Amino acid sequence: MAKILCSFIFLCACFVLSTGARVNHRILSSSTLDHDDATPTGSNFTFVCDPARYASLGLDVSNFAFCDTSLSYEVRAMDLVNQMTLNEKVLQLGNKAYGVPRLGLAEYQWWSEALHGVSNVGPGTFFDDLIPGSTSFPTVITTAAAFNESLWKVIGQAVSTEARAMYNLGRAGLTYWSPNINVVRDPRWGRAIETPGEDPYLVGRYAVNYVRGLQDVEGSENYTDPNSRPLKVSSCCKHYAAYDVDNWKGVERYTFDARVSEQDMVETFLRPFQMCVKDGDVSSVMCSYNRVNGIPTCADPKLLNQTIRGDWDLHGYIVSDCDSLQVMVENHKWLGDTKEDAVAQALKAGLDLDCGAYYTENVEAAVRQGKVREADIDKSLNFLYVVLMRLGFFDGIPQYNSFGKNDVCSKENIELATEAAREGAVLLKNENDSLPLSIEKVKTLAVIGPHSNATSAMIGNYAGIPCQIITPIEGLSKYAKVDYQMGCSDIACKDESFIFPAMESAKKADATIILAGIDLSIEAESLDRDDLLLPGYQTQLINQVASVSNGPVVLVLMSAGGVDISFAKSNGDIKSILWVGYPGEEGGNAIADVIFGKYNPGGRLPLTWHEADYVDMLPMTSMPLRPIDSLGYPGRTYKFFNGSTVYPFGHGLSYTQFTYKLTSTIRSLDIKLDKYQYCHDLGYKNDSFKPSCPAIRVDDSQYNDQFEFEVEVLNAGAKDGSEVVIVYAKPPEGIDATYIKQVIGFKRVFVPAGGSEKVKFEFNASKSLQVVDFNAYSVLPSGGHTIMLGDDIISFSVQIRFC
């Protein structure tokens, strides 16, 4: 079922992509199956413990302690679970929870998605005449490029408002299995579109802010008891863990065993999830299809019970990726397990909810065979019902009762989608300040290429039905007269016969805009890339059109992963290159606003754009981040790769010029060790100086080891603009096999032309300057740590001394 479902989702996405139509591709969704209370004008359902609802069922709500609001959620959930039979309990363990009619417990559909807007992928949500669509924000890789934490949180708030409104109207659930926070380890990964990029800290900060935007109820962010903290909607960070191979040269996620060192697990693969749980207080984590070091993630007690629930103290539930238990039995064939073996091991490992039917069909038999305790079921159900109580499913949350149709696709949300697309645009090249184009001088445009009339391609995957779609042609037509030529019939661009008409158009126009790139037919879930090149004749189209263009040529690229466009970077006929990711329903307006200078781009690449031959140097299935010299494999991500690139992580230009000036710094930090703290050994390269106390374990550091600095950002140009200040740390010289540099902070700041803004950064040295050694200890090295702003615009040393 997992394979069938994912293939169906992919085919639906491709169908929408190819037709350009706004097709409601419901995936296993039906208003009669999972939305029995939906009516043409709203919903008959209020909340479980509504006295009137119980009366209509012939029941007295006062007879049920789980509806007594004077009791804690934990006590109420326990009371509810204790009244169920074994069979009734088991029927609540799948994404479709069947309810218990004799107790007045309603059915509930757990599976809804909200990756970059309320989606209709998953049976918990649907669109119809009452709610025909929702705001489709840019894909995650695009908004990540904004490097703007407040933007990510505001988008989460907008999405959760639309979700809550749709719930009130019977069109959506309250539990959303988003965001995807897997680090993009390899540039070929098809799901880079869904993620915030390749840096664990960046990915983690995105997770924290988007989750807070989705979940936080205003005024209740810091409850004394997190398990009673109300939730606007429930968010889920996925896919845990070390999941970043979908389908590469026949290697599928359903059978892949990710062989990962503990060092890489701590440093890269687990860090965003730890931040999501501990800093974002997410209420759910989803385990992935793959195995990690031989064990399916959804049956690994170390990953689930020990780490998520134990070390990180999750306040919520753990759910499987859809049909992962079936995959464990039929694809991984792990331990030769029967169905009953598999569900028993997963329950005992800490998996609370099964997206699928394996739990509901097999757990009762597993209990009766003595393979798992009924008490293990009780524990999971308690976690699940506490979350539903926090969401108001049992009692309602009055402040959201007024949310309705007018809160979906509001003018404010559509403008926010436009702003997000603008902020995520990255100016890669701009020779001779060719951009922005002048409205006074440019009256005619040749708009050429397979993405010129993009519709569904701009909204990516895990999308719903957008409120509207503004194509690039429509956006550009607001500024100049457009002559549109396809250049290619589609993204594959296998027919060069359309190139000549495009060249003729470019000869006559005041400026030429070429919109090229890739789409879900090249990179998607269940579809990893084979190469980093533009498909078919796209390169030929771009070069030939640029060679004859009458005016400046602007190349606009849509993609998630990087593309080797070295040819365009070095082509003097192509003055400007703009990457826009997949910019959402307002992409056409955002692209035009940037090109004509209504908005000054300030985005930065959240991924390294590698040269094409990078993928020939190592297989996608090689998991280590560090170089493997014995095999000739290079390192992965900017943290461990020191070769040449097309464009590096963090690259991005502006229409203005910014300069930095340090106004205050702390250059040294003395950390006094007590008698229970010990120096920790650390590997150094041969002939390198090794301090007498090389490091201390971070867990042992009990002191305030803060350092801070302030930088003044000056806009020396003539245009207002936003600058992203990225702060990197480089470890002391000589430490063996550690990162080259790593992001420890960033802020996006708006600076008017000729003005300046001061930006203050504060860091905890133990967290920000730590190194994970080969034993997987997180340690703080002594010595000089180099703090770099941007691409080494300014750098200074912070000396760490132990005494």
C-alpha 719/C-alpha 231 separation (Å) is 42
Give the pLDDT band (50/70/90) at residue 224.
confident
Domain covering 658-802, topology: Immunoglobulin-like (2.60.40)
Q: Which DSSP state fits 462?
A: S
Structure tokens at 578: 């703009």
All residues at 6 or more sequence positions from 448 whose CB lies less than 8 Å from its CB, including other chains = 484, 485, 486, 487, 502, 505, 506, 512, 513, 514, 515, 541, 545
Q: Report the chain's mean pLDDT, rounded to a whole number.
A: 94
The predicted model gives 627-652 an average pLDDT of 98
Q: Which DSSP state fits 435?
A: P
Backbone angles phi, psi at 417, to 5 degrees: -65, -40
- Given 321, 337, 341, 483, which residue is catalytic? 321
| Amino acid residing at 684 | Y
Is residue 140 within 8 Å of residue 153, measured between CB atoms? no
- The string of DSSP codes covering 10-30 is HHHHHHHHHH-------SS--
Structure tokens at 515: 């919109």
Query: Taking the chain, what is the end-to-end CA distance rounded to the nearest angstrom?
Result: 60
The predicted model gives 633-658 an average pLDDT of 98
Token pair 């993204």 in the structure block, residue = 491
The reply to whether the predicted model has a pTM over 0.85 is yes
Domain ranges of the chain: 51-406, 417-647, 658-802
Residue 640's CB is within 10 A of a number of other CB atoms, namely: 18
Residue 603's CB is within 10 A of a number of other CB atoms, namely: 31
Q: What is the pLDDT of residues 126-144, one digit of tens each?
A: 999 999 999 999 999 999 9
All residues at 6 or more sequence positions from 143 whose CB lies less than 8 Å from its CB, including other chains = 116, 137, 151, 152, 155, 420, 423, 424
Query: Is 321 an annotated catalytic residue?
Result: yes
Give the pLDDT band (50/70/90) at residue 702.
low
Give the pLDDT band (50/70/90) at residue 26.
very low
Q: Would the pLDDT of 11 be above 50?
A: no
Token pair 């990540």 in the structure block, residue = 144
Residue 278's CB is within 10 A of a number of other CB atoms, namely: 15
Q: What is the pLDDT of residues 583-600, one digit of tens each?
A: 999 999 999 999 999 999
Q: Would the pLDDT of 110 be above 70?
A: yes
| Amino acid residing at 719 | K
SS3 793: coil
Q: Please classify residue 301 by burial: count the beta carbons closer than 10 Å to its beta carbon, then call 0-12 exposed, 13-18 middle and 19+ buried.
A: middle
The predicted model gives 538-555 an average pLDDT of 98
Give the pLDDT band (50/70/90) at residue 17.
very low
Residue 513 forms beta bridges with which residues? 447, 554
Percentage of the chain exceeding pLDDT 70: 95
SS3 704: coil
Structure tokens at 367: 């209990």
Domain covering 51-406, topology: TIM Barrel (3.20.20)
Q: Would the pLDDT of 659 be above 70?
A: yes
Select from 50, 145, 156 the least CA-distant residue to 105. Answer: 50
Q: What is the pLDDT of residues 31-86, one digit of tens each?
A: 333 577 889 999 999 999 999 999 999 999 999 999 999 999 999 999 999 999 99
Q: In CATH, what class is 417-647? A: alpha beta
Q: How far is CA 737 from CA 6, 539, 617, in A?
A: 39, 39, 20
Altogether, the residues listed in the chain come to a count of 803
Q: Which DSSP state fits 732?
A: P
The predicted model gives 407-411 an average pLDDT of 98
C-alpha 443/C-alpha 439 separation (Å) is 7
Q: Would the pLDDT of 263 be above 80?
A: yes
C-alpha 146/C-alpha 553 separation (Å) is 25
